[in-house]
Structure 1
């Protein structure tokens, strides 16, 4: 059985381990090119958000420069032979293939003069909304402002040339003709029997081009940095969360929101935990979950009260016996949560582990997967170079059988989360000898003021991973997304977007 047959067998039997393969890369750096503060065009291109739409036919990425780039799937639509032969690509034809669609500047740098605060243009989160009339809708946010975008193909209209000889034209609607070799006489070309080749200009539609328009701006509702936005299953509302509050918005109303969660204490010196991530339940429009820096996850029901100070359920790891260290609470902070497609299970990621929770069982996680167990002896080094505060995202497959999350050295790990599964795979989003490089149009050069906002953490790298390989703290895979209907993962390493499939 060859590799393709094994992949087909694995897709037919979900219990078999998947054979992951490289598919595409967009915007990969050439050898020797560094993403650093000096390279403005590359530093602001570092990807900070990834999201598939509900169909999986479109993919959006956001970067530190406030730009949103859209990709569209081509292999499912192009069945007329436009796809290249297997011998030309060296890849099976059935793998999902995307192409660059368009890009637009979502956010620009701002300055809050009242608070003397500089607001970065970096895109923190992207969320797709329901499509309508062939148009795509999505939400994007930086630290303070959320925007609602509509992307639609617009046909380019051109005016056809007049089908006449311009050298013979004298005036508007007249042609010079001579009578008996004498003085030219002007005849009206519109008289029957005149110039039959003359016609009026005609407006015709040519190829279409995607155009992005900002429909609404939701601003001035958060005092702290927005870390999450999430769409409701009702298609009408969404939430936005910062460190201390969660607000509920209506997509049609941009000038007001409702505060549904507020964990700010009466005195800020009594503050013990902050909100790190928030997510709506995928099917129940009245339920949502949010995580905290203490490692807990709270499930709340919007039907209980207008201000959800109390939670319906609290999910947290039973307190481990033994002494606590200075780093115990730091590494327990939950950086990301994701509901499975059907909504019963919830995936969470803290610095060391990936956990799967059953929302019907709040006694503890149903499964825990070690991601950074080998980093325990290195916590002091990680704290000194700020790597311990890296916020790794997680994602779960559409069938809920597998989950994935990132690590250092541009590695990401895939775990089987179904009962009894021991499946695990580690892949690196940077080394593949048969990789195809698909460029993304480079962004225009930016003002000098934007350079000073890019913070470089230096080039420290030390430690080893679980396989005794050298570990590079400066190359990290923080953002990734799982295709909603297929075993396909999109992940970001610096300013490059990598696609893998199984």
Structure 2
């Protein structure tokens, strides 16, 4: 994919460590609830959201763009201006989901956040969707002025120094019938006087807005009871009014303002469940065309559907799949072909998909096969049997694209993630480690393109293969540490990735 007039043979980017949040100290054990399970930048790139297995959503905001107008800068910022990169700080967090129990199905529903998606911001407020296995929630995060009690609604000269009211605050006066009062009843400690037959004077605090503000997260909508199976995807529409939620067999269309009704637009559930051959694994709206969306399946195919064709999109407008070469099928073929994540490129022409072994880049105008294929960890192929036995072969790795579409990235084991160049002729294949030691340098793995998959595919590139049984650093592979979730900044070369409970950020 050539996204511009730049030099497609340019050298690989030099990635550097930027920040880490939630880094573990030596010997510290990771709590299950603290493991990050979702990451998402908003469209501006000024905010980053993460979700964890404990049902919490944590927001970060960018700080390096908050500069005063004009050219005034601190002298220590001079070096930074020459090597600018995004810097973020913790903003706020809130509990999005709680553990539940479905009594009808005797099923425990985890609080784990499966996906987070940003919606259009308005009036200084941030809006986002978060989901666990069954319920999608719509959140509004906004700064609110802190209100303080400034004074009481009485003349300060009539109050005693300790804040209670003296007997002199009780005034003698005329009753309504013209008689005079010679006695009065006072509750000086409670701050009001009550002459018999009269009206009490109530002492109230005066509340004013202070200059301080605090962030308030409020749940605006709860979209529940629409999925029989676990929700694997949510995606906001470019129209700013609707979104989709997808489970194994169905995709539902929602209006953000209506929480008690959704429209089932895709249903792949067979009449007889014994005839089930594939399930939906991921779904995403087109970034600019509000009528177009794509969803992937466990058979390695991607279907593009047009909402204008029919209310129930049983028939796709385009199908993208790569045929398996004759004689190459094995017990693991269908398992590793299952697509775990798809992402549209910013312009909407390309779709990036991740299966267990590879990244594939598809041109929506060409359904004969992917335009590029990137080997993520080909050295694991001899270990598929072991991976099957320890269930690692079912791990669902995410993928992401740079804003200019010139690079793609995805994660692997041993907390590694890989960055590939997509330009025609590019051989960029960089391996980085999100480790406890931020000063550890990344490893550049030179590689060469291999043979094309077939003459019908215009330019298929396979690159990034490494030595069998070893990771990119030449060390034995660690299947217990895996980098499943990562996100690319929408306009700059910056990647946020999750290694267990730590959020690492790199820039180039």
TM-score (structure 2 length as normaliser): 0.81
Q: Secondary structure at the match of 2:414?
A: coil
- Which of 63, 66, 72 aligns to 2:55? It is 66
Task: Kindly indicate whether the alpha-carbon contact (under 8 Å) linking 2:281 and 2:339 is maintained by their aligned counterparts in 1.
Answer: yes
Task: Kindly indicate whether the alpha-carbon contact (under 8 Å) linking 2:145 and 2:209 is maintained by their aligned counterparts in 1.
Answer: no
Q: Secondary structure at the match of 1:376?
A: helix
Q: Secondary structure at the match of 2:381?
A: helix
Task: Kindly indicate whether the alpha-carbon contact (under 8 Å) linking 2:431 and 2:472 is maintained by their aligned counterparts in 1.
Answer: no
Structure 1 position 313 matched with structure 2 position 318: yes
Task: Kindly indicate whether the alpha-carbon contact (under 8 Å) linking 1:75 and 1:83 is maintained by their aligned counterparts in 2.
Answer: no
Structure 1: gaps (5+ residues):
1-11, 36-41, 177-199, 436-461
The corresponding residue for 2:346 is 341
- Which of 477, 484, 487 aligns to 2:493? It is 487
Post-superposition shift, 1:323? Answer: 3.8
- Call closer, same or farther: CA 1:433–1:476 in 2, change over 3 Å: closer
Post-superposition shift, 1:256? Answer: 0.7
Summarize deviations over 1:155-187 as a string: whole Å, max 9, x none.
1111235777843988469589xxxxxxxxxxx
- Which of 18, 22, 25 aligns to 1:23? It is 18
- Call closer, same or farther: CA 1:170–1:84 in 2, change over 3 Å: same
Summarize deviations over 1:48-94 as a string: whole Å, max 9, x none.
0000001000000000000000000001014588989369x999762
Q: Secondary structure at the match of 1:217?
A: strand
The corresponding residue for 1:496 is 502
What is the distance in 2 between the residues matched to 1:402 and 1:253?
38
What is the distance in 2 between the residues matched to 1:25 and 1:171?
55
Q: Secondary structure at the match of 2:393?
A: helix
The corresponding residue for 1:262 is 267
What is the distance in 1 between the residues matched to 2:306 and 2:209?
54
Post-superposition shift, 1:289? Answer: 0.4
Summarize deviations over 1:369-391 as a string: whole Å, max 9, x none.
00021001000110111100000
The corresponding residue for 1:120 is 110
What is the distance in 2 between the residues matched to 1:372 and 1:170?
75
- Call closer, same or farther: CA 1:251–1:472 in 2, change over 3 Å: same
What is the distance in 2 between the residues matched to 1:105 and 1:466?
38
Q: Secondary structure at the match of 2:261?
A: strand
What is the distance in 2 between the residues matched to 1:209 and 1:269?
54
- Call closer, same or farther: CA 1:201–1:468 in 2, change over 3 Å: closer
What is the distance in 1 between the residues matched to 2:208 and 2:324?
72
The corresponding residue for 1:155 is 145
Query: How many residues matched?
Result: 435
Summarize deviations over 1:270-320 as a string: whole Å, max 9, x none.
100000000000011111000000000000111111111111110001221
Post-superposition shift, 1:46? Answer: 0.2
Structure 1 position 369 matched with structure 2 position 364: no
- Which of 64, 80, 85 aligns to 2:76? It is 85
Structure 1 position 249 matched with structure 2 position 258: no
Structure whose alpha-carbon radius of gyration is higher: 2
What is the distance in 2 between the residues matched to 1:215 and 1:170?
43
What is the distance in 1 between the residues matched to 2:346 and 2:488?
11
- Which of 408, 420, 426 aligns to 1:421? It is 426
The corresponding residue for 1:111 is 101
- Call closer, same or farther: CA 1:202–1:365 in 2, change over 3 Å: closer
Structure 1 position 167 matched with structure 2 position 161: yes
The 5 A counterparts of 1:383-422 are: 383-422=388-427
Structure 2: gaps (5+ residues):
1-5, 171-204, 441-467
Task: Kindly indicate whether the alpha-carbon contact (under 8 Å) linking 1:240 and 1:246 is maintained by their aligned counterparts in 2.
Answer: yes
Post-superposition shift, 1:95? Answer: 1.6
Q: Which has the higher mean CA deviation after the structures are superposed, 200-209 or 287-296?
A: 200-209
Q: Secondary structure at the match of 2:314?
A: coil
The corresponding residue for 1:129 is 119
The corresponding residue for 2:199 is none
Summarize deviations over 1:338-379 as a string: whole Å, max 9, x none.
000000000000000000000000000000000021001000
- Call closer, same or farther: CA 1:385–1:83 in 2, change over 3 Å: farther
Structure 1 position 34 matched with structure 2 position 32: no
Structure 1 position 145 matched with structure 2 position 127: no
What is the distance in 2 between the residues matched to 1:85 and 1:161?
44
Task: Kindly indicate whether the alpha-carbon contact (under 8 Å) linking 2:36 and 2:50 is maintained by their aligned counterparts in 1.
Answer: yes
Post-superposition shift, 1:463? Answer: 4.3
The corresponding residue for 1:303 is 308
What is the distance in 2 between the residues matched to 1:240 and 1:312?
20
Summarize deviations over 1:432-467 as a string: whole Å, max 9, x none.
4549xxxxxxxxxxxxxxxxxxxxxxxxxx942255
Q: Secondary structure at the match of 1:361?
A: coil
What is the distance in 1 between the residues matched to 2:223 and 2:229?
15
Task: Kindly indicate whether the alpha-carbon contact (under 8 Å) linking 1:28 and 1:497 is maintained by their aligned counterparts in 2.
Answer: yes
Q: Secondary structure at the match of 1:412?
A: strand
The 5 A counterparts of 1:449-460 are: none
Task: Kindly indicate whether the alpha-carbon contact (under 8 Å) linking 1:168 and 1:175 is maintained by their aligned counterparts in 2.
Answer: no
Task: Kindly indicate whether the alpha-carbon contact (under 8 Å) linking 1:233 and 1:282 is maintained by their aligned counterparts in 2.
Answer: yes
Q: Secondary structure at the match of 1:255?
A: coil
TM-score (structure 1 length as normaliser): 0.82
